Each structure stands twice: as structure tokens, then as C-alpha cells.
Structure 1
Amino acid sequence: MKKTHIIIVLLLSVIWSCDKDLLDRDPVSEVAPENFFIKASDLELYTNNFYRMFPEEGIYNGDRAADNIIETTLSEEMRGARIVPTTKKNEGWSWEYLRDINYFLENYERCEDEAAKKHFGGVARFFRAWFYFDKLRRFGDVPWYEQTIDPTDEEALQKPRDPRGSVTDKIIEDLDFAIENLDDNTQAFRITKWTALALKSRVGLYEGTYMKYRGMDGYEKYLTASYQASEQLMNDSPYKIYSTGNTKEDYMVFFASHDAITDEMILARQFLTSQAVDHKANYYMTTSSYGRPGMPKDLVNSYLNADGSRFTDNPDHNSMSFTEEMTNRDPRLSQTVRAPGYTRMGENITLPPNMGATVTGYQPIKFVNEPQYDTYDESITDLPLFRYAEVLLNYAEAKAELGILTQADLDVSIKLIRDRVGMPNIQMAEANATPDPFMADQYLNINGANKGVILEIRRERRIELYMEDFRWDDIVRWKAGQKITRPLRGLYLPGAGEYDLEGDGDIDIVLYEGDAPDNQVDGIQYLKINSDVFLDADNLIDPHPTFNNRTFDEDKDYLYPIPRVELQLNPNLEQNPGW
């Protein structure tokens, strides 16, 4: 059964409206520090509010913004259609949580419980790092505040943006404090030392590669911080890759589990029907009325064959039938999208892809469990915020980008991830000797002796972390924006005719032109060409035929614009380049 739900909406939020901004909130101490911050329970109660900063079902927003999940409507990022917002509403330029964190840090040392003071001080410093890492990724340079602001303090209110390098250093400083002071137990829904190490691993990799691929000096220290934090977690923590030895199901089961599997889950967002805390993953991926998400064909093509050879080395890889291309592949493919033989959890009826629920024909199933949770806002799978596999990937990538990766490093990182599904490990010498041309065409700015192995780590990262909110950030830090302007394609369906998508001899789809066929059979999907489905010149599904000439502005699109009203409120702020 579920663990007791963690209450993250704290009593203080009744007093502190989340509509207030850092720059216009009353500085009067809403909670008198001489009467609060005394007991361990006071510190816990206060810091519980910070957990509201974590995303809910937005766990896959970074995939929807980029080229991992294609929907009926393309994101503004994919269309190149972002504009400068007028106000800060839902645009990321919000500071209320920072004020709450800094208020806590100014007062928590009044606590009489030394152990609690140490731990919850670490919790607050973790969340300040989380807060600023979000701002850094979105806006680049941002003002750094580590104290509450009096509304009469014009100098603080008119503060200019601090350089991203100094902001990153402050984030690392906060995380180092958190690592030193947080409890080192394992709790799937609470911040611990291991969560702070995982975030430091993530921050260091992000900023290190962001700088490296823009020719900025000093990137090495961040990549070093990343792999060292990863290594500490790998050596000292109890985490491991979840595996029962069932290579055909373990990856899928891990994400469809009702309860976070704590072997691998470092931190998760908890969901409980009994507390009316649910999300929409099942509904999102099974209904025809909510985005119709689909995996793009270029990602399907990225999955290796089951023996570790490259699927795209076959010159016919774009003209195989669905059953052919799904056969003898990396088992994660059939555990991430509907493939021949797919059944819902708790049922034994095989189901082909539902073309009404996916625009590409490759229908995602990650996080999907029993049909009883298919209705809107009924899913209860705990969603990952940090898991051990990401740390292993960060470790390998950071070392590869520094030029110090060895085969032994891959053996203690990528190999563990691939062992779960019975896939061969990356062989560094082979990868560097013959870089995959398919992968190299996707990431044009990789050079040097480690080009091949970096490409393989990027392949692994996109596959393993699919739908976990990393893809947009990866595109940005690798300076690979042109990747998301590439053509978007789906299943190969060579024109009008009947198609068996399960290989069982039964017809699953009929494509037709002109009038719909008479005497339609229940259970068969009938799709009209150039109406229900569009095919390109190579007979691949084109989910967005009117958006095949998308653009990405290399000079501005890696960052988001600051809302206009904020520039008016603080004339010392400067807008991001190009906006």
C-alpha cells in the first residue's frame, strides 16, 4: 500500500499568498521568529512548503518542448513562435519562493535542536540551488539574492543581473553546504544528501557543456564537479539500477509502478488517489482528445538492434514494416512505445498502436499502468525527479567531455543501465574508431577523439531518460537547436491498403483514399489519406505537413525573454540578446 502522503502545503501558505512577488511583498515577519523556528517541527513545517516547487505532471514538459514527443500542436519552441511576454504570469520570472527560502535561512539557527538545524538548513540551501538552477537554465544571467528584501531598499530592488558564472558558483556553494549537512538516509519523497549530490551532478554537467559548446573558458571545473558528485553518490550511496532479471519488462515496470521503487529512485513526486493527488499520464497517452503524443521516427531509429549493432546501418531502415522494425531491437523500445504483443497491465489482450491517440503511430506507454487509471487526473504512478540512471549517465558524459573517460568508467556506469535490458555495453575504442553517421548527422558540433563515444552516450541518454523532462535542456546545453528543425516523421505506411501492426495475421489499420470503405469491421482503424493521416514522399507519416519549414534562431532561442513589465519595474535589467 502507499506510504502516508507527505503534506507539502503548509499552514503558512494561508498567510503568504503565492501571488506575491519578491519585489512587492511586505517584509514584516509574518511568522515572528522569536516564537517560531524553535523546534525541529517548526523547521520541518516551514520547509515542507518548498516541495511545492517541484513539477507535478510537467515531468515530461522538456520532451514536449523539443523533439521527443510530437503532439497535435507543436510547442512554441518547436515552431520558433515564442514572443516577449507582457507580464510574468507563467513565464518563469517569479521570485516568491526565494523570499521564503531566504527568510528561513535568516532565522532557522534559532532552533534548539542541533541535528534538525543542520538537516533543514541543508534542505533550504538545496531548494535555493534548485530555484536558481531553474532561473539559470531559462534566463541565463539573473540577480542573485541571498537575503530578504525590504521594499524600501531601492538598491536591492534595482539590482542588475549577475553573470551566469557567478550564479552557478553560488548554486554549487549551496549544494556543497547541503551535501555536508543533510541526512544521508534514503527517502523517496524527501530531500537527503543523495538528492543534493544528484542535483550537483546535474548542474555541473549542464553548465559545463553549455560553456564548452559555446567556446567559453572555465567549463572544466563544472564538468569535474559533475563527475565527482556522481562518483561520490555511486561509491557511497545504496542506490542501484532496479532489475529483477526480466529484461523484457523491468524498464517498463519501474515507471509503471504505483509506488516509487527505491532501489533506483532518489527522489520522486508522490501521487495518491486517497489524497486526490493524481496526474494525467494514462489519459494523456491513451485518449484521442488530449495531444495524441507520439515518438518521432528519428528516435525510434536511434534504438540499437538487440545485439548492439546499429539499426540505421541497414539502408532500408526507413521503409520497414512496423513489425519488422520492432523486431530484435533494444528491449527499451517495446517498453516505451506500443509494439507487437503489447498488453495493458493486468490484461492479456494484445493491442496495436491506437492511431487516434498518437500522431506518429509510435504510441508512448511510459508511466502507463492499469486501464482503471485512464480517466482524466486518475494516474497515481510516482514520477521521477532524480534517479540513479541519470547520475550514471552524467558521470560518463562529464568524463567523456573532459577527455578522461575510460572503458572502466563505462563499465561502472552505462553498462549497469544496459544490463537491465540485456543490451551490450558501449565499447569506447570501437565507438571512437567508427562514429555512427546517423548520430553524427544529428549533432554536428562534436569533434575530437571522443566524438564517437559522446554520440553513443547521447543516444543512451535520449533513450533511457525519454519523457523525464531532459530533452529541451540537453538541446540547449549541447547548442543543438537546429536538431529540432529537422523533419518530423512517423510510421512507414506505403499508401492505401491494409496493415497488420501486430504480426498476428489480423488487419489493424486500413488506409484509404476517396470514400470510406463500406462494411467497416469493428476493431479495425480506418484512416483517410490526406485527412486522417498524411504521408510524405517516402510514405512516412508526416504529423505536421504545414510545419516542415521551422526555424531556430541560434542568437536568441536558447534563452527565454524577460517579461516587459519586469524591465519597466527594474531599468537595470537587460533583456536577453535578440529579444
Structure 2
Amino acid sequence: MKYKISFILFTMALFLTSCNDVLDRPSLTTAEDSEYWINEERVRLYANGFYANFFVGYGEKNETAYAPNANYIFSDNGVTLGTQKQFVRSVPTSKGSNSLTVEWEDTYTGPTWNFAWIRKVNVMLDRITQVMPNLLTEEQYNHWVGVGRFFRGLEYARLVNVFGDVPYYSKEVTTVEKDELYKDRTPRDEVMDAVYNDFEYAMNNVRLNDGAQYVNRYIVASFVSRWALIEASWQKYHYNNNVRATKFFEQAIAAADMLMASGKYDIETDFRTLFGSTDLTSSKDCILYRKYDAGKNITHSIASSCVMNTPTTNGANLDLVKAFICTDGKDWQTSALANTDDFTLSNLIKTRDPRFEASFYNEPTSLAKSSYLYVTKFIPRSALEYLKIPGGTPAAEFQSDKNVTGYPIMRYAEVLLNWIEAKAELASIGGTAVAQGDIDRSINKIRNRPLAPEAVALGVKKTVKMVLTELPNDPDRDRSVSALLWEIRRERRMEFAFEFSRIIDLRRWKKLDYMDTDRNKELLFGTWVNFQKEAAAELKPDNKNKIRVIDKSGKIIVYDGANGAQMNGFFYPKENLGRLPFIDLPNINPYLSPIGTNDITFYKNRGYTLTQTKGWPSVN
């Protein structure tokens, strides 16, 4: 059953604690006391406090941390007007800092150096196991221990993803246990073995159905398919440890198999509707869905960023545009379709995978200042009807922070892509080869997603099925990656553009060099614009020497006030500047975040040692 997140209101005093040195100080509320833990409903009330941390959706009001389309620019998909967001290249001083600027935390990569959520879940588990064995039935006991271990596994998977080795706590630690409070990092493998075990327990004990607003076994398994795949990839590409990679690839496959065998989920909703609907709780596409409700003052602002009434300095870059596959299943350079090298938006809409049309406004626009390509993925098509009316304005619900469109936090499409990638990766290190039937159950099921009538009217067609014996020979393929894995990764890029996935994928594949703007200038280019036809209003005296494009030969053309007929190429603002080098530099590890020097000094002043993240310089 889908989980309709309306974010249950509960007594926050049960959950709020003040900050201690490493773990949160025990709260002064009854949730810390054994007298609180008297029945299942008390456990449920306490567990509700984890939902807002792990299942953010579009966020709330103007708070967009972890929300899609809020910070997608920090990947190889987007370009910002100005200097591109930088990787931090020195250890910060502040406590809880993150190495890759705020974008790391805000693009769903994980928490800062803080173990409050670990302590909270260990309190829950300790109370259940120590106080409640005789107060709960065996089934209730196993379920709630499973829920607690699921949340603990999630948080540790996120911490490890950001920092690598982290201190592992399997139980509540009190303020008098100094050696535990200030212990050094636990090796990554030991932490992730514990996460593996937590996930296994949860997948075997959490209820199949605990009601429409609560975690169930299918939700657990969907997240396990994500995080086990991430860890498996890390073990393969960063540590060359195929034994451990196999362990986690197999867990990811087993988790996805659980959902695929259930018959409860399918691909049945057109792509744009997945993100622009107000209620998909009954859709088989959604395993976990956050519903918003203006009547309860639970709204967000992400749809307003797609409504086309305000300029944005962010946009999609040319590298992403070229990554979209053609409808004959080939890359644009080897496709048999006519005119695939015609990058006008009208032609891209007709020749590229339907997810292209569903993700962008169908005309170049100066509102997207960095690229002329405006992201409209997260708003219903009907919300843009106002653009057809002279002087029209968006409906009130699509302005400011009044949005009530829901977000599919976990989609069946992701489970399918996690599954096929894990199988292909496992095959590359000695597992069973991927068969055509595997492709049909995953990628081809997604490609057969229904098309919206509005898309069909624009000439959009479904992409043909992937055939293992006819994979594209993409000239731009990274030759360290097999043709099959390259196409699987392409599917993820098209499917999850501007959501949570891309920066995490690049990190786990050890491919952050894809974000190197010196290596790939197309990261700084926008979409194709024929200014005389599509943006003639911009050819005005005020824009003399301000607008420029780059043509297919690489020639930069600057508007001089009289050469409007030549202003035909990929939009390339002079403000779009690249990143500083960040790969293969001494004392810089862009794949893992350093901890602040203040944290290390804090430990040292108390007689303990806190080791810096691997690849970053230690404090003397």
C-alpha cells in the first residue's frame, strides 16, 4: 500500500532534545522515560517523528532542503548563470560542515556530522527491547523493532555516503559514557554490515500493511534497493572489493524482487502527471507519496519554480540535452531518424525520449537566464495555460509557497532501474548475465509508460524497446563503462533529472570528473536558440555585446546589434564560468566530506582523537 504522507501532527515535546557534544542530550520529556512506553500507540507516536527527516518530498513552505528542482544545479545536468557551484577545496572550521558547499546536503546526499537521529532511534529500540517485550505481541514487537532498525539503517547509510567511516552506536549512549561519546570513527565496512543486517531484519519483520500513513515492508524494500545499490557501487568502484560489492548488489536485487513479485506496482501514469498531481495515493507508480493539503497549511514552493512567471538563473545544460536518447533507441549521433542533429526544441520534442518533452517548456525562453531551457517537470500542464492569455498570471496555488501538488518520494520506476543496474553490475563481476527478459521487465516497462495527450499533440512518440543485441555504440560513451551499463545509466539520467539522484550516482560510480567544466565545455552551454525566429525581442540595443551563442563548429557569435541573422546556436552567456579543479588534487577528496577542524579540536580538548575523513588533511 502506498504511504500518503500528510505529515502527522504530533506532540513535538516527545522528540525535541537539546544539543550535546556528539549525541543529543537526553530530553527532559517522558519519551525518554520507561513510563512512556506502555503500548503500541506510544511507539507509533514516537516513530512518527522520523518521517519528516527521511521522507521530505517537496519540503514545506519555502524550505527546500533535499527537495527536487531546488539544488539540482550541482551536477552535470544543470548550468547556473555565473560561476558554477564549487567543490570545497579545504577543510572547514565550523561544526557539522559539509565538503561540497550547501548543495551536498540539499541534494539529498545526507546529513551533516550529527548523530541525533541515531540516538533517537536507539532510544526507541532500547525501550522496545528492554521495557516492552511483555507489553507487545510478538508480531507487534517484531514490526516495531523492524521499523526502528529500518530508520537506523537509513540514517547510517546516509552518514556513510557522506563521510565514509563514522562512529557506530547500536544502543543509547548516556552522557556519562565518555569513551563511547567520544569514540573515533568505526570502519565503513563494519558500519555497513550493521546496516545490511538492519535492512534484512526490517524486510523480514515490518508489516506488509500497517495502514495508509505508515511504513510497510514494501516501502522498506524500495529504500533498501536504493541504498544497497549505492554501497555496492561504492565497494566496486572506489575499493575494488567485489566480494562486498556482490553482497550489496544481491541485497538490492532481492529487495527489488520483493516489490516486483508482489503485483502491487506498475508503470501506468504519464511522466508529467507523476509530479503535477495533487493525489496519486492510488497510483501503482508510487510506493511512497507525499500529499499536501492547503487546509492543513501543509504546502510547498517547488511548483512555483516551474511556473514560467519569474526568471531563474538555473537551467539544463547541453550535456544533458544530448544525453536524451532518440525514439529509435539510439544516441543522437548514431540514430537512423532524420535530423537528429537539429537541436531546435520543436525537433527535440519529436525525436527524443518522451521524458524530454515532459521535463521542459517547449520553447526557448530568456526567463532561463543561463540556458534558455526552462524546467517545468514539477508542475501540471494545466498550470501553464495562463501563458496563452495576454497578461495572464498563474493561479494562486502556483505562486509563492502555496503549492499543493504531491511528490512521489519513491517510485516503482526507481526500483526497476535499481534492479536492472544491480543485475548488470553483478554480471560484470561474475554474476549471471543480464537477459532480454530482464530488460523487458525493467527498462522496457518504463519506456512503455503512457503518453499525455498534450505530448502526443506535439509529436511525442514512445522510445522503442531496448534490445540487448542492438545496444547503441554511442561515440560519447565513457569507454571504461560497458555499453549496457552506459545505457542503464542514461535511463537513470533521463528518469531522475532534477530529482535526488544524479550527484549521488556520479559519486558512487566514481565519475565526478563528468562535472569538470575544463574537460567538458558543454556543461556551460544551454539549448539551441535561433534568436531571429524564437527570441527576436531579445535582439535590442540593450543586449548589444551581452548575448552570445556558440555554433556547431565551436565558433562563438556575439550579438553586435546588426548580426541578428547569425545569432543561431547554443546559448552561451559570457557569465557562465567553469569550476576550479577538484579532481586528483592533494589533500582534497571530493567524494567524501571532511569534518570541521572545530570538531577535531573539541575531541582533543577532552582527551580523545577524532580522525579526519580519508583524503583530507588532519589537524596537528
Match of 1:88 among 76, 84, 95: 95
What is the one-letter code of the residue matched to 1:113? L
Q: Does 1:531 align with 2:536?
A: no
Contact 2:83 2:579 in 1 (8 A): no
Q: Which residue in the other structure is 1:148 paired with?
A: 172
* Aligned position for 1:408: 437
User: Please, what TM-score do these two structures have when normalized by structure 1?
Assistant: 0.84
Measured in 2, the distance between the counterparts of 1:420 and 1:470 equals 20
After the TM superposition, which residues 497-516 of structure 1 pair with which residues of structure 2 at under 5 Å, given as runs?
Answer: 497-500=531-534, 508-512=535-539, 515-516=541-542
Equivalent AA in structure 2 for residue 363 of structure 1: Y
Aligned with residue 302 of structure 2, among 281, 301, 310: 281
> Does structure 2 retain, via aligned residues, the 8 Å contact 1:43–1:116?
no
Counterpart Cα distance in 2 of 1:34 and 1:14: 13
1:185-227 deviations in Å (ceiling 9; x for gaps): 2866531101111121112211111121225222111111111
Please, which of 358, 361, 368 is the counterpart of residue 335 of structure 1?
Answer: 358
1:119/1:417 CA distance change after superposition, 3 Å: same
> Which residue of the partner structure matches residue 300 of structure 1?
321
Q: Does 2:619 match 1:569?
A: no
Task: Give ranges in structure 1 of 5+ residues lacking alignment.
Answer: 244-249, 340-351, 501-507, 517-527
Worse-superposed segment, 215-224 or 9-18: 9-18
Change beyond 3 A, Cα 1:385–1:154: same
User: CA separation in 1, counterparts of 2:548 and 2:307?
Assistant: 18
Residues 333, 116 of structure 1: CA spacing in aligned structure 2 closer, same or farther, 3 A cutoff? same
TM alignment of 1:132-143, pairs within 5 A: 132-143=156-167
Does 2:56 align with 1:35? no
1:336 Cα deviation from its structure 2 partner: 1.0
Give the corresponding residue for 1:503. none
1:361-382 CA-to-partner distances (Å, cap 9, x unmatched) read: 2211112122323211122222
TM-score calculated relative to the size of structure 2: 0.79
- Please name the residue that 2:372 is paired with: 361
Give the direction of change, closer, same or farther, for the CA distance of 1:84–1:75 in structure 2 (3 Å limit): farther
In structure 1, distance between residues paired with 2:193 and 2:181 = 22
Distance 1:162 1:224, change over 3 A: same
SS in 1 for 2:80: coil
1:59 aligns to 2:83 (yes or no): no
Give the counterpart letter for 1:80 in structure 2: F
Give the AA of the match of 2:354.
P
Query: Hey, what does 1:320 align to over in structure 2?
Result: 343
* Change in 2 beyond 3 A, CA 1:308/1:284: same
Distance in 2 (alpha carbons) for counterparts of 1:324 and 1:301? 13
Give the direction of change, closer, same or farther, for the CA distance of 1:392–1:5 in structure 2 (3 Å limit): closer
> C-alpha distance in 1, partners of 2:573/2:211?
42
Question: Does 287-296 or 410-419 show the bigger shift?
Answer: 287-296
1:331-371 superposed Cα distances (whole Å, 9 cap, x missing partner): 111111112xxxxxxxxxxxx34321452122111121223
Corresponding letter in the other structure for 2:348:
E
Measure how far apart 1:87 and its partner are: 2.3
In the superposition, relative to structure 1, how do residues 149 and 544 fare at CA in structure 2: closer, same or farther (>3 Å)?
A: farther
1:479-558 mapped onto 2 (5 Å cutoff): 479-485=510-516, 486-487=520-521, 488=523, 489-493=525-529, 497-500=531-534, 508-512=535-539, 515-516=541-542, 528=543, 530-531=545-546, 535=550, 537=555, 539-543=569-573, 545-548=575-578, 550-554=580-584, 556-558=589-591
Following superposition of structure 1 onto structure 2, how do residues 139-538 of structure 1 map, counting pairs within 5 Å?
Answer: 139-185=163-209, 189-217=213-241, 218=243, 219-243=245-269, 250-261=270-281, 262-286=283-307, 291-313=312-334, 320-339=343-362, 352-369=363-380, 370=383, 371-372=394-395, 373-403=397-427, 404-421=433-450, 422-431=462-471, 435-438=473-476, 440=477, 443-446=478-481, 451-485=482-516, 486-487=520-521, 488=523, 489-493=525-529, 497-500=531-534, 508-512=535-539, 515-516=541-542, 528=543, 530-531=545-546, 535=550, 537=555
Cα offset for 1:34?
A: 3.4
Aligned to 1:327, what secondary structure does the other structure show? helix
1:66–1:471 CA contact under 8 A, matched in 2: yes
CA distance in 2, matches of 1:274, 1:21: 40
CA distance in 1, matches of 2:71, 2:502: 5
SS at match of 2:287: strand
C-alpha distance in structure 2 between counterparts of 1:509 and 1:72, whole Å? 21
SS at match of 1:118: helix
Deviations 1:79-127 (A, max 9, x none): 2345433223564112211111100100024342324333222221111
Change (3 A) 1:272 1:531: farther
Whether the 8 Å CA contact 1:143–1:161 is kept in 2: the answer is yes
Structure 2 segments unaligned to the other structure (5+ residues): 99-111, 384-393, 428-432, 451-461, 557-568
Write the distance in 2 (CA, Å) between the matches of 1:364 and 1:291: 10
Alpha-carbon deviations, 1:134-168, whole Å to 9, x = none?
11111111111111112221210221111111211
Instruction: Give, in whole Å, the separation in 2 of the partners of 1:18 and 1:285.
Output: 38
Query: 1:509–1:176: structure 2 CA closer, same or farther, 3 Å change rule?
Result: farther
Contact in 2 for aligned 1:188/1:265 (Cα 8 Å): no
Q: Could you say if the C-alpha distance between residues 59 and 161 of structure 1 is closer, same or farther in structure 2, counting changes exceeding 3 Å?
A: same
Aligned-pair distance for 1:32? 5.3
Aligned CA RMSD, in angstroms, stands at: 2.8
C-alpha deviation, 1:537, in angstroms: 2.8
CA distance in 2, matches of 1:473, 1:5: 24
**Deviation of the 1:265 alpha carbon:** 1.0
Decide whether aligned partners of structure 1 residues 549 and 157 sit closer, same or farther in structure 2, where only a CA change above 3 A counts. closer
Contact 1:12/1:46 (<8 A) preserved:
no
Name which of 95, 102, 120 aligns with 2:144.
120
Residue by residue over 1:512-541, the C-alpha shift from the partner in whole angstroms, topping out at 9 and shown as x without a partner, is 26x24xxxxxxxxxxx26436665735321
Q: Is the 8 A contact 2:147 2:202 kept in 1?
A: yes
Deviation at 1:269, TM superposition (A): 3.0
Equivalence for 2:559: none
Alpha-carbon distance in structure 2 between the residues aligned to 1:425 and 1:189: 36
1:131 pairs, out of 135, 141, 155, with 155
2:81 to 72, 75, 83: 72
CA 1:561–1:281: 2 relative to 1, 3 Å:
same
CA gap of 1:334–1:240, structure 2 versus 1, over 3 A, is same
Cα distance between partner residues in 2 of 1:272 and 1:214: 43
- Residue 50 of structure 1, CA deviation: 0.7
Could you tell me how far 1:38 is from its partner in structure 2?
A: 1.3
**What is the percentage of aligned positions where both structures have the same residue?**
26
Amino acid at match of 1:135: L
- Residue identity opposite 2:198 in structure 1: D
Alpha-carbon contact 1:142-1:163 (below 8 Å) kept? yes
CA contact (8 A) 1:27 1:149 kept: no
Q: Aligned to 1:100, what secondary structure does the other structure show?
A: helix
CA distance in 1, matches of 2:166, 2:173: 16
In structure 1, what is the Cα distance between the partners aligned to 2:4 and 2:507? Answer: 38
Name the counterpart of 1:504.
Answer: none
